[in-house]
Structure 1
Amino acid sequence: MGKVNKNKKELVSEQREELLIILKDRFTKNMNRHQDLEWTKIKTKLETNSEKLWSLNEMERTGGEPDVVAYDQKTDEYIFYDCSAESPKGRRSVCYDQEALKSRKEHKPKDNALDMATSMGIEILTEEQYRELQKFGKFDTKTSSWIKTPSDIRKLGGAIFADFRYGHVFVYHNGAESYYAVRGFRGSLRV
């Protein structure tokens, strides 16, 4: 997807245009996710928020296939979620957070979900957001995704993840230091 300006969270013009085309195409093909929203308004907002556009590019680059799922009238923000059918490929095989990564004595994963999300400028989906996403289709039928873990669970060494099996969303627990080739994380971004 072109060159990224490594000093700033900003895309070069060709990359901006390419990403906007991808986002518009996905928006048009998936109107069930945003029936009352207009692409022209979203595009205008994106064009004036270069850092948010950079974050969307990071979501796209790592396989998240971001799309608009809602508009918050109170804050005048469009809400994007990762809408890839399975947990984004470029964000799998990661443990939950830095503390979990440090606790592993050997066979450490390359990264952790919370730090990756922060570096991308996005938030990991909450359980509520994950369930909301599932109203738009069947996501994570073969994979699972880390979701925002309540602090009381995290303090005890656990973390939670979710998937979609047998027609239902399941939320499970695991040690935060665990990582699997089929578990990544999904993010959200407000623009």
Structure 2
Amino acid sequence: MEEIKKFLANSRFIIQFLAGLHFVWDRVLGPPRRLLMKILGRLFHWYKAKWNTYTYDKYGGFVYKRAGIMTTITLLVLFMIPTFITLSFQTAMFLTTYRSERVYLFHAEEIYPDDNIWSIRGCEMVNCATESLYFRVAPSLFNHIWSVFYKQELFLADDIASGVPPGKTECHIISYGIRLKTLMKRYEIYPDALYIACDGKRLVDN
């Protein structure tokens, strides 16, 4: 009898859990999912129409050379989509979180040499016991574009990060990104440093 009660209790839980999943799938995720499918459907029909227009000649014959060109262009566009999304996200972050400030930096370390990524540490005030500011210096398409417009040269992470001398030094830094320690510690999401210029004068020995 007890085993039947446990079975019924477990069955009731499973049914209720599945009902909850169905509610989330249908009511919560349903509207954005249907909108996404509608957009993808229209894109597919548009692409299919372009394919038929370009890959067939005026006599209705299929041209393999045109199909090859169309396929190559499609693959290049698909390859560029993640880059475009990243560029758009970084541009939005720059426009909303841009900072140009003077802080006190005292540590620069290349943490991922293969990817040319540096870690920068410092603090907002000269009298701070521990570091309270963290930055990353890493090459990206947005950082290259910004550097070309701002400094007329490509973004060189080594040159930027190596400008931080040992010892606490007042520096001018241009950066963008969200400064939340939770994001930094759990997900390694740090603000990006675009420009660092230090006075070259050591203020405090570490």
Q: Same fold (TM over 0.5)?
A: no
Higher relative contact order (Cα pairs below 8 Å, separated by 6+ residues) = 1
Larger Rg: 2
More helix as a share of residues:
2
